[in-house]
Structure 1
């Protein structure tokens, strides 16, 4: 792993201060520092030579294990210091006697004596590595220039594709032809080696607008090495029906899929097929035959034999790119102009030749060289020894080799993710944080921000790839690279195979319907395990799925894994409680109990002072949280979404001064507890519920300056004084992107007060989405249609039952979607809606693409703006639902309209 990062942490000021202020041996500290500096000096040389020298790799791996153990010792000291601080504060408050404090002090001295012994043992281990470095020929300060993180966090959008025009054209002809085999369905195989771009080409075709128009249904299924006919059939069925399916019987699934396809023209993509069993393929495709003539199945595979028995049209073999196209692709990802620097172009073309025509290799190397137009760096890549010595694809090995140290460690950790596993950025970010891979950012940046920058950097280097709107995957070969580089430290279990895990640090395993104790027998000796992560190989969780884990795992195994930092028991529906022995996991940072049947949390949980992330989403039986939650000084993320029985938060919630994220969506909480304003570190707050009596007032939001993302302020009818709303200071919350203002279902008792409240809740100018619901004022404040919302893209106005007219939202230049419903007093929509006044007429709704009116019971007339041009020049979709009195004409000049829905 990235030993540099670990060394930096142990040699940090935090570590030094810990020795200085606690009862630890000072000479031992100096000796340890000298040893660390000596070892750190040869790390670059060791990282380079491990590729060709197994002895160096073994030396480096053993050194990493030693430094991991040192981290655990440091963490143990940190925990003890925090425990003494917190318990000391509690004892002072309770006025304990001097005798008790003396006993505590004696206990503390014994602890630090034992730590001195551990550090002495650690020092002896490290000195052994110093003695061996000369024998291995390791030299100080040898290394290459490491490409720095790019100054941008731009995400990869559409992939840059070169040299595939002819292949795409040939496949398009076949796709759009209605000539088919006797079963009406053509199977089109794309064959090529790993990394040559089969999936990219298939995705280009799948997302082509002509394809969308030509086929009634389409679906994408990733097959991969773990072939499962039930999983594949269910994936296709759920894609074409757009709803989850609970069936597990293959025959029933096939019957339903056959009925859904009957008489319809469809396109299926079966990506990454490995199964060579002809009988199983014929069985899988049985439902396809009910589709209409011209239906197509596009198959990508590395195996030509598979393509031969599956095909019904000629095979499209995808050859490697030409050297020229490889160079263009590399230059694109390196962000250089091929003709701007002749010397750089000459080196770049030589590097491109070594990519052997593989697009994946070219784009990952482009990521290595991105924003580094330096011939020394480029020559270093060209002449690297990795081209001759690596057991993996050399270009991919170089993409790892030239990563900055902090990114190496994050990338390697992702080797615990299975192939084709889709993940969200935040899932990975919070695991990195829990494992100590993310430093506190410069300039006061929080760890989440730094971690997201790391994630975007790995994405820009093509080590991650986008998969859908908000998920990501690792290419198979990239996954192989991560596994190769993490050997001995990371492990993932995907079946019943045996494993050597005694010294493994990070483990993921495929969650099964019944996880029995014998499955985890190998972990009895894994005393240094840090990650215990359950993962579902299904594409997503379906409500009603049940998983069970042996009670022996909970009560016997887990408490013995005392180095754990990440523990996930997510989706085990038989987990109703945690044993008190969980208190032994003092290093724990991340605890995921989401989708379990947990009823109460043990009080000892509150002694896990290092906890950063606590996930309780959809714990539908959870009633309340332990009172001692305030002790979790390092808690950063608390998700309670879906805990439908939860009606209150702890009264001392305000003591969680390091809490960064609080999600209470899906709960029945009636009001926020007092002193919410003390949570100064809070970055996201899903909802703030204004209480009727004793809870926090809305004004406390003003003391939370870092709030961002989405915020819902609910039950605004409970605001007593409109001046409290002004104190919420929404106008200065620059990181807010989405805001919901909801007054509740009761009728307004003071419409003027409600207008005053809304007037004072004007948000920051960069807000992107605004929802106003249940507002009881008689009209809207001026800011709602003015320049103060110059970046708004989506607006929803609902159930504002006292308003007889709409706000002038036509003035908003960036508004793309507008939803209005339940405005029961509105009879006419006229010039005020468009933003026009008596003296001026403007061109309204310059960007609006979607407009929906619903449940407007009294709406009779829709008057045009009189601007002289189209009132809705970009409108693509218009819906009118349950507007029974509307008469006259609709807007006539709608040049971009694609969809019109009228009902009631």
Structure 2
């Protein structure tokens, strides 16, 4: 597999900072490494020597291998500015060399393809019925099958000669390689770079925008007392992590100079580290910062002694700014060794672009590091920063016309402070409306003027990446901004396109190497790993690249990678290797025919009904892409695959996806693509089953992603011996579809077996699951509940014993009565997730304490389960490393009083347990708690003590619980005397939902104000809640989202606690029967972060209160609040005039208004709106016309108008004819009365015909 996977490319180191355009060109052109060239040459000459006896081959090989060090030397010399005069010629030669290397690889790949083809034929012949004539044919084929055709050998010879010619071109650039000169220039360059980015503790920024929260958190970390745990050391490490230009140094400078920080430390030190991480040098700088003079010591021992003498027993703060070292543990250990003598509470604070830097420092010191990640500023903060630099010193009247453009420009900056300063300052010197419009239309990476500084800073991050990671990073530029990268999918695409280097370590699979590359990029902060969870169960895991890094990827991949939505709008360089494109017209496909070197093509056909012209044109261009490795095609419907696909013999990856309707594809054209490693076909349920009878030819196939029912039609799947991912193998009783097909699939990593009731013990043993050492995920699914002997099912499950390296196991629909024996001991030492679901006969679950890596245990729909074995080792507690998550659903008869939860339990979910009246004490490490449909009468408390892995008693000082849901607990009456009142619990909770607890009367006496980090609070459908009668503020200042619905007499008390909640951004009020008025102006004025207000089904609400004071409100929804409109209609004209005058201070700028009563638009403060972009009126049974005056005053900004279920609406006002509308959506209206107006709007909507057409 190693050789037939193909040769992978890498960028040879990196290119230093030249000018933007030339630097970008040189990077991909230099993307061949001398080890790759050497590998190709050795393999090619071996092949030629075996089959093509040419006298000059040996001398050519020796000459080529001799020249490779010179090629490497030129690659190294490309760094420096002294090559600028020759850069065009050098660029041309680098691309010529890359073309020659890839041509040689293609020739070798063709020979390998021929070998695979012959192997498949030989394999199939061996399975046929033996006869004399066939035996004779097999003998002849066996003797000749590996002899390649002369045409292939000739092409290989020519490609080697072409590579020889290209390498010979190195001679004209040898003048660049003065070895000493290069080294000296490198040292000068590094020194210059360090000086260029040197910082001090003095900040030039007078004010810091949008970092108050981060600043407060970091100050809290630095100044809080150290814990009493004996494990605490005198020294702690913190990091500020963020991309270049995101304000790390500025934040650290302001923290350093805060009075409260100054008073906490005996010594404060600032050292600018930059790229050259040398422990003795840094220690020198630290000593110099303390003594204000350079130390005279020359040895590390002497430096350590001097520094220890200065720091011993002193509480110090050391800030190391701009640190890059994440791979040299030895230097970290030498640097940190003398710092251990400091007094308690001493701190090292690092600013870095890579989280891995802080982790490395922590490893060196044996400590856990806390990271503060800067993700960029919010839009309102970045706008303030931009305005400061763009309008500094200019009059308000002069700048007025530019403010709107500025708001749109900062949306492109993606929260980067440096970009806001650079672009703002640049525009300050170009106060021309036309010029600002031009800048608005440019992409960030295309802003050559003013963006040099930004890209220069960002390029440093790329500069420090290893060569293989640079290549993988550049490849990601063909995906859109904000794309969610699934780890498996991205690694498969990297492998398919040739991004991952082969390794001589045969113990590592290519997928593991690719996964490590992605993990490294994430640790170095080029990707951010995130996951979506529900109730502590991970639904999706993915990686996201920040917009500014995506812009960087597009810059550094210029000429190599391209993503475009309109191929007619860009000039496509013939050097492009990886491309993503949308095709609107089949005629445009011919613009791609010149891309003979293309290796990756992601193409989307936009048209609803692709004509036969598409198939013809697509077939024609595929003929040009003879080197293609990856093909991803998306279309709204499919007819058939082009014939030319069968000629793309280098293809490793094919993905076909239909976005609209089902499709039928003739797969036989792919069954001769012997190199194919990944096949993905997304198919809809109405699609007829694909014909896959020839798929067993794809002997290199590793990943098969096709619909479940399609896999069941593949006969003899056991011939795909390289298969690693099989998401649904349906066991059948007919030949070629039994579980015995798994026997030879030794590389399987992921397997899901269905219809296991069709197996017998002999077949299970023949499948050899225990021998599959790569298996990581296994799902065993019984789909039929026919009458089967329970003993038989028990024996079958026992026989399905997997390899001990298994990490995830699911048992679904099992009809036996016993848990398999291999789950009751420590055999599965690596298992992290176990699910036992819908197993109707299981009555007892034995101890699982031996599964020491288990993090998630899910027990669902086990109606007969009555007892569980002791999960705990001693005193009802489990050692560290054991079960982290316990999910129980439908387990009605468990004796819960006898069960204690593991001390490292991660997630606890209890569903449908109506007999559960009380829970044991909860462990401190619990993160997610959900209790639904339970008979619980009182909430439990948390315990601190647990037995660690050594068996000794330990304790925790702080709870880990972050979110809690209590729902449908009819017996729960009070939250008193539960863990909500424990001090150790009150810091961690971020999210709390209390729903449908009909008898709940009392919350904690102090409300939730002591939950100092609570961000989301929901209290709904708890109608018996009582007002405590005390003047107590119920809500903490940290709350960001508040949901209140049907909360009895507590509603007004909760709403009365809103004042001063400066973090509150979303309020949802529904079915609040006691609510008569929204909060006053004095309260709303303090809610400076509030963006969304939604009010529904509040029947007694009759006043907007101080709504007009919500300056930053952007979305308002009001539905089923009839008393509001009634109150307005019953008021006298004089009272209406009085109220209108009271709304003179109306600062509302609501973007989106959604209502179900049009008369609300006649009421203040909505009546005075001038900035609304979207208006939605739904389910208004009495509306006969729209408010003409309101539409008139919003006509310049109103873009979207939605009117649904307005059966009495008679007409649309004429004011719409002069509006800026882009879309109108009318439903259940008398459309014929509006046709003349809509046709007028349609005809006068420039550049929006598609949207209007869809709307009409």
Q: TM-score range by the shorter chain?
A: 0.5 to 0.7
Q: Is 2:212 the partner of 1:170?
A: yes
Indicate how the Cα distance of structure 1 residues 770 and 614 shifts in structure 2: closer, same or farther if over 3 A, else same: closer
> Does the alignment pair 1:528 with 2:561?
no
Cα offset for 1:578? 0.8
| Cα pair distance change 1:88/1:697, threshold 3 Å | closer
**Residue 754 (structure 2) aligns with:** 714
**1:862 is aligned to 2:928:** no
Q: CA separation in 2, counterparts of 1:35 and 1:804?
A: 72
Distance in 2 (alpha carbons) for counterparts of 1:123 and 1:711: 47
- Is 1:132 matched with 2:172? yes
In the aligned structure 1, how far is the partner of 2:689 from the partner of 2:73?
53
Distance in 1 separating the partners of 2:138 and 2:909: 73
| 1:118 shift after superposition | 5.0
Q: Give the conservation status (yes or no) of the 8 Å contact 1:594–1:619.
A: no
Match of 2:91 in 1: 61
Aligned in 2, Cα 1:845/1:547: closer, same or farther, shift over 3 Å?
farther
2:489 matched to which residue of 1? 427
CA gap of 1:532–1:37, structure 2 versus 1, over 3 A, is farther
Partner of 2:1115: none
Does the CA contact (< 8 Å) of 1:49 and 1:56 recur in 2? no
Structure 2 counterpart of 1:341: 335
- Equivalent of 2:516 in 434, 453, 464: 453
Residues 325 and 110 from structure 1, CA distance in 2 versus in 1: closer, same or farther, beyond 3 angstroms? same
CA deviation digits over 1:562-617, x for unaligned, max 9?
22222110x31223311112233232222211346542334332333332222213
Question: Cα–Cα, structure 1 residues 638 and 393, in superposed 2: closer, same or farther, change >3 Å?
Answer: same
Aligned match of 2:799: 760
Match of 1:612 among 674, 677, 690: 677
Which is greater in Rg?
2
In the alignment, the residues of structure 1 paired with residue 922 and residue 888 of structure 2 have an alpha-carbon distance, to the nearest angstrom, of: 17
Q: Structure 1, unaligned stretches of length 5 or more?
A: 147-162, 176-192, 203-322, 346-356, 374-389, 537-543, 657-678
Change (3 A) 1:603 1:785: closer
Q: Is the 8 A contact 1:46 1:138 kept in 2?
A: no
Equivalent residues in 2 for 1:231-310, closer than 5 Å: none
Q: Distance in 1 between matches of 2:149 and 2:798?
A: 57
Please identify, of 359-368 and 616-625, the stretch whose mean Cα deviation from structure 2 is larger.
Answer: 359-368
Partner of 2:870: 834
Residue of structure 2 in register with 1:490 after alignment: 561
| Residue 78 of structure 1, aligned match among 85, 103, 108 | 108
- CA 1:37–1:594: 2 relative to 1, 3 Å: farther
Superposed, which structure 2 residues align to 1:408-807 within 5 Å?
Answer: 408-444=470-506, 445-468=508-531, 470-495=541-566, 498-509=569-580, 511=582, 515-534=584-603, 550-569=614-633, 571-595=634-658, 597-618=662-683, 621=687, 623-640=689-706, 642=707, 644=709, 647-651=712-716, 653-656=717-720, 679=721, 681-695=722-736, 697-698=738-739, 701=742, 703-708=744-749, 710-721=750-761, 723-731=762-770, 733-765=772-804, 767-789=806-828, 791-807=830-846
What are the within-5 Å matches in structure 2 for residues 211-250 of structure 1?
Answer: none
Say if 2:739 and 2:767, in contact at 8 Å, map to a contact too: yes
- Contact conserved, 1:622 with 1:645, CA < 8 A, in 2? no
1:901 corresponds to 2:927: no
The offset of 1:461, in angstroms, is 3.0
> Structure 1 residues 497 and 788 mapped into 2: Cα distance closer, same or farther (>3 Å)?
same
* Matched-pair contact (CA < 8 Å) for 1:789–1:812: yes
The whole-number CA distance in structure 1 between the counterparts of 2:831 and 2:121 is 52
Q: Secondary structure at the match of 1:11?
A: helix
Shift in CA distance, 584/695, structure 1 to aligned 2, threshold 3 Å: closer
The answer for unaligned runs of 5 or more in structure 2 is 1-10, 13-29, 126-133, 187-202, 218-241, 252-316, 340-348, 366-451, 533-540, 935-967, 969-1256
Counterpart contact for 1:758–1:781, Cα < 8 Å = yes
Tell me which residue corresponds to 1:41: 70
Alignment partner of 1:11 is 2:76? no
TM-score, normalisation: structure 1: 0.63
SS in 2 for 1:130: helix
After superposition, the CA RMSD in angstroms is 5.1
- Secondary structure of 1:551's counterpart equals helix
Decide whether the 8 Å contact of 1:767 with 1:789 is kept in 2: yes
Q: Distance between the aligned counterparts of 2:909 and 2:114, measured in 1?
A: 63
Q: Which residue of 2 aligns with 1:662?
A: none
Provide the rounded CA distance (Å) in 1 between the counterparts of 2:327 and 2:158: 51
* Contact map agreement 1:773 1:800 (CA 8 A) in 2: yes
Are the structure 2 counterparts of residues 71 and 854 from structure 1 closer, same or farther at C-alpha, using a change threshold of 3 Å? same
Render the CA deviation track for 1:503-530: whole Å, top value 9, x for unaligned. 223243354xx62234444323222222
Moved more, 710-719 or 94-103: 94-103
- Measure, in 2, the Cα distance between the counterparts of 1:4 and 1:368: 29
Give yes or no for contact 1:795–1:819 (8 Å, CA) kept in 2. Answer: yes
Rounded to whole Å, the distance in 2 between the matches of 1:404 and 1:449 is 17
- Cα distance, 1:26–1:532 mapped onto 2, change above 3 Å: farther
TM (normalized to structure 2)? 0.47
CA distance in 2, matches of 1:50, 1:338: 28
Q: Given that residues 577 and 600 in structure 1 are in contact (C-alpha distance below 8 angstroms), is that contact kept between their aligned partners in structure 2?
A: yes
Q: Matches of 2:629 and 2:732 in 1, distance apart?
A: 37
Is the Cα–Cα contact under 8 Å of residues 368 and 399 in structure 1 kept in the other structure? Answer: no
- Does the 8 A contact of 1:361 with 1:395 survive in 2? no
1:197 maps to 2:246: yes
| Partner-residue secondary structure (3-state), 2:753 | strand
- Aligned CA distance change for structure 1 residues 634 and 9 (closer, same or farther; 3 Å): farther
Name 1:891's counterpart in structure 2. 919
CA distance in 1, matches of 2:460, 2:364: 15
